[in-house]
């Protein structure tokens, strides 16, 4: 049952989404352990004829990877609007906090220096940064904002996700690299064999147990501890600072995702998640670390996909943005518009998309947030239309409240 408050929120969401629109087959037949990685490879039913056709003509099986950044990415510290004179005034400390030179884009924008791989893809015309986007969600709650973005219906529906509806329409298969099925891949109409989940085991390996025991034994002897760390770093069990590397980090999850997508009977799409973007304080240091993690993980995804990268679109988004003005603790608070990235060999990149609204007080949303000028779901719809060839009627089944944009996002 939906109460009056939720009904009002849904109406507000539909209204904001409308305004934005105006402005512009998987089964568990077998599990195979991958040597040294503790991975499980899922097997998917596919006829030998289709498998042969896909292998020899991969464009018949275009892939999508949906990466959700949970916590509200600050787009203005990621795709930096150096063109806007108000930027430095609103962010006197954050605008000067970059440890390395910004990575130039067109139209007076620049990428955060922690995104060298994404910048290289931009130069290779396989990355599209999109500024000032919003899902149409009218509030600033992380959980509801994420649910709204994953559902994609103009209202929160925990049992129906936009990617699941696209899978249903085109009879695709999907994998969620998660402990449970996220909303994006939920649907009562999707066959249970079309969507599956995978996540690394929580059990420690024997190497990890030995490392923990030796580390404890040598904790009072710096010389022995240093030699232990050095030896284990050579083996790849810890990093140079002695930190355990096998903790299900984004790098490992992205690498595993690529392996699972490129098996002989791999899936058509996958979903990855990365949290930690709620930067209310110490944003400069925290965001540099998170963007490095994202950038290196996506590089692992590309490397793992191999030739399939040319046939792949990676959609990277977040629930909402952050305030235009920095706060008193070196961070930013919950806002409205944020950014999207479209990456992959199939992307017609090398440009910055979206309309920049400006940062003057009268140009901000509620005089505090970056004003949204386009809708996330319309960009998603454009990808589905051009990459998976969804018709207008099929797109309406996936996104009933918006239409796709007339933008050439995918290479012909």
Domain membership flag for residue 195: yes
CB 283 within 8 A of CB 380: no
The answer on 384 and 236 residing in a single domain is: no
Dihedral pair phi/psi, residue 138, rounded to 5° = -90, -5
Same domain, 241 and 316: no
- Give the Cα separation of 284 and 360 in Å (integer): 23
- How far apart (Å, rounded) are the C-alpha atoms in residues 121 and 125? 6
Same domain assignment for residues 285 and 216: no
Number of DSSP helices (H) and strands (E) in the chain, helices first: 12, 13
User: Would residue 53 count as lying in a domain?
Assistant: no
Q: Which of 246, 274, 303 is the last residue of a domain?
A: 246
Structural domain count, the chain: 2
Residues 185 and 253 in one domain: yes
Round the average pLDDT of the chain to a whole number and report it.
84
**Inside any domain, residue 231:** yes
pLDDT of residue 406: 95
CA 405 – CA 20 distance, rounded (Å): 12
Cα 219 from Cα 44, distance rounded (Å) = 48
Of 212, 246, 280, which residue is a domain's last?
A: 246
* pLDDT score for 219: 67
CA 311 to chain centre: 18
The angle at the Cα of 276, spanning 82 to 162, to the nearest 5 degrees, equals 90
> Do 267 and 229 share a structural domain?
no
- Average pLDDT (19-24) is 48
CA distance linking residue 317 with residue 7, whole number of Å = 26
Residue 183 sits in the same domain as residue 142: yes
Rounded Cα–Cα distance for residues 46 and 23 (Å): 43
Weakest mean pLDDT among 213-227, 252-266, 342-356: 213-227
Do 209 and 110 belong to one domain? no
By percentage, how much of the chain surpasses pLDDT 70? Answer: 75
CATH code, domain with 118: 3.40.720
Q: Are residues 180 and 325 in the same domain?
A: yes
Q: Are residues 187 and 242 in the same domain?
A: no
Q: Is residue 47 part of a domain?
A: no
User: Per mean pLDDT, which range of 59-68, 329-338, 354-363 is the poorest?
Assistant: 59-68
Q: Are residues 317 and 171 in the same domain?
A: yes
Residue 410 bridge partners (DSSP): 347
Distance between first and last Cα of the chain: 46
| CA triple 267-269-274, angle to 5 deg | 125
| Domain extent at residue 136 | 15-22+62-200+248-398
Distance CA 232, CA 210 (A): 11
Residue 99 vs residue 209, higher pLDDT: 99
DSSP 240-292: TT--BS-S--HHHHHHHHHHHHSSTT--SEEEEEE-----SSSHHHHHHHHHH
Of the candidates 246, 280, 306, which is a domain's last residue?
Answer: 246
Domain for residue 266, yes or no? yes
> 36 lies in a domain?
no
Taking the CB of residue 275, how many other CB atoms lie within 10 A of it? 12
Q: What is the mean pLDDT of residues 253-273?
A: 93
Question: Which of the 8 DSSP states describes residue 344?
Answer: S
2 part of a folded domain: no
CA distance 216 to 259: 35
203-238 tens-digit pLDDT: 555 555 666 666 667 767 777 766 666 555 544 444
Q: Which of 391, 373, 372, 368 is nearest to 381 (CA)?
A: 391
Answer whether residue 311 shows pLDDT above 60.
yes
Other C-beta atoms closer than 10 Å to the C-beta of 21 total 17
Give strand pairing partners of 131.
339
Contact 194, 25 (CB under 8 A): yes
Please check whether residues 292 and 225 belong to one and the same domain. Answer: no
- Alpha helices (runs of H) in 108-170, residue ranges in sequence order: 116-123, 142-151, 162-170
Residue 57 lies in a domain: no
Residues 101 and 74 in one domain: yes
Per-residue pLDDT of 357-409, as tens digits, reads 999 999 999 999 999 999 999 999 999 999 999 999 999 999 999 999 999 99
């Amino acid at each position: 049952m939906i109460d009056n408050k939720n009904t009002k929120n849904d109406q507000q969401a539909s209204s904001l989404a409308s305004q934005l629109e105006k402005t512009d087959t998987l089964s568990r037949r077998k599990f195979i352990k991958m040597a040294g990685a503790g991975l499980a490879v899922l097997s998917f039913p596919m006829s030998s004829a289709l498998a042969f056709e896909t292998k020899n003509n991969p464009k018949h099986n275009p892939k999508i990877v949906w990466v959700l950044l949970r916590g509200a990415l600050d787009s203005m510290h990621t795709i930096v609007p150096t063109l806007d004179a108000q930027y430095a005034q609103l962010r006197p400390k954050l605008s000067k906090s970059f440890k390395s030179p910004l990575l130039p884009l067109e139209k007076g924008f620049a990428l955060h220096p922690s995104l060298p791989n994404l910048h290289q893809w931009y130069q290779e015309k396989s990355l599209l940064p999109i500024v000032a986007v919003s899902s149409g969600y009218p509030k600033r709650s992380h959980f509801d904002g994420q649910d709204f973005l994953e559902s994609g219906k103009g209202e929160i529906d925990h049992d129906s996700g936009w990617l699941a509806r696209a899978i249903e329409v085109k009879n695709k298969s999907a994998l969620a690299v998660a402990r449970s099925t996220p909303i994006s891949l939920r649907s009562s109409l999707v066959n249970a064999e079309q969507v599956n989940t995978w996540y690394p085991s929580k059990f420690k390996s024997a190497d990890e147990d030995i490392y923990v025991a030796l580390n404890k034994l040598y904790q009072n002897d710096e010389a022995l501890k240093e030699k232990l760390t050095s030896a284990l770093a050579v083996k790849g069990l810890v990093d140079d600072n002695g930190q355990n590397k096998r903790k299900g980090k984004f790098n490992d999850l992205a690498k595993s995702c690529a392996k699972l997508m490129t098996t002989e009977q791999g899936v058509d799409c996958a979903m990855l998640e990365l949290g930690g973007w709620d930067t209310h304080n110490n944003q400069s240091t925290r965001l540099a670390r998170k963007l490095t993690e994202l950038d290196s993980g996506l590089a692992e995804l590309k490397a793992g996909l191999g030739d399939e990268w040319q046939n792949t679109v990676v959609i990277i988004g977040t629930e909402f943005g952050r305030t235009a003005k920095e706060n008193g603790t070196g961070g930013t608070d919950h806002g409205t518009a944020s950014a999207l990235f479209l990456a992959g060999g199939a992307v017609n990149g090398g440009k910055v998309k979206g309309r920049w609204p400006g940062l003057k007080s009268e140009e901000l949303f509620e005089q505090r947030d970056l004003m949204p000028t386009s809708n996330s779901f319309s960009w998603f719809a454009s990808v589905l239309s051009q990459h998976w060839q969804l018709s207008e009627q099929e797109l309406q089944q996936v996104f009933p409240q918006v239409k796709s944009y007339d933008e050439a996002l995918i290479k012909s």
